[in-house]
Structure formats: structure tokens, C-alpha cells
Amino acid sequence: MHELALAENILEIVKGSMSANGGGKLKSVKVRVGELAGVVPESLDFCFTALINGTEMESAKLEVERCDIVAHCLDCGTDSIVDGMTFKCAACGGGNVKVISGNELQVIEIEVEDECDNN
Ligand SMILES: [Zn+2]
């Protein structure tokens, strides 16, 4: 299951980042997923929740931000957002394009609640 491996990966990044920053309680994790990464956000969220269930991170939320597919035209040099699955340049209409964005899966934000804060 693709999403499970990704969720494990995300969790590793989160743990690494948290221990580097002195720990605390994980509140939320924001990830950016490209349209081409083949990730179903609901499924990723489900796997992530299953992994943190029963750990001290179990109240954390996973936020998934979708990002567009961007194609770079090799003919005219324009970068355009790919709408649907038609890979052509929005400026000149040419099909000589290279996808430069849309495959990513990145952890972009980790929010940690400071244990010293409220109670
Ligand atoms: Zn073009």
C-alpha cells in the first residue's frame, strides 16, 4: 500500500524534526502532495492516523495540501499549470513540455505544542 509507506516516511521526518527541536507534543503536520504523486489524501490521512494511534502523537492532525502540475514548455519557455491531463503549453499550445512540478510529496510544516504553555 503506497500511502502506508508514505505515511511512515512522513512520520520519520516528523520524529527527526521533533527530536532535533527538543520534542513537545505534535499538533499537526502539513504535507504538500503533487497531483501526479498518485496519492489519495483520504487514504494517506487514514494510514497516518493508524500509525500514530496509541502513541503520544495520536491527537495530531494531518493536513494535505494539493499542488498543481506545472509543465515547462521546451519551445517557448513558458511554465504553465496543467489542467486535467492534457500536457500542452498554455502559451503556444505546443506539446513539447516537461513536467517540472507535480510529483512532490513534502512535509512543509510541523506544528508542535509547547508542553510548558498552558498547564
Ligand atoms: Zn509554449
**Cα 80 to ligand 1 centre (Å):** 9
**Cα 9 to ligand 1 centre (Å):** 36
Q: What is the pLDDT of residues 9-56, one digit of tens each?
A: 999 999 999 999 888 899 999 999 998 888 999 999 999 999 999 998
**Cα 84 to ligand 1 centre (Å):** 17
pTM of the shown model: 0.78
Torsion angle of the four alpha carbons 32, 103, 16, 64, in this order, in degrees rounded to the nearest 10: 20
Q: In this predicted structure, what is the pLDDT of residue 63?
A: 96
Query: Domains plus CATH for the chain?
Result: 2-68+101-113 (3.30.2320.50)
For the chain, percent of residues with pLDDT exceeding 70:
94
Q: In this predicted structure, what is the pLDDT of residue 116?
A: 60
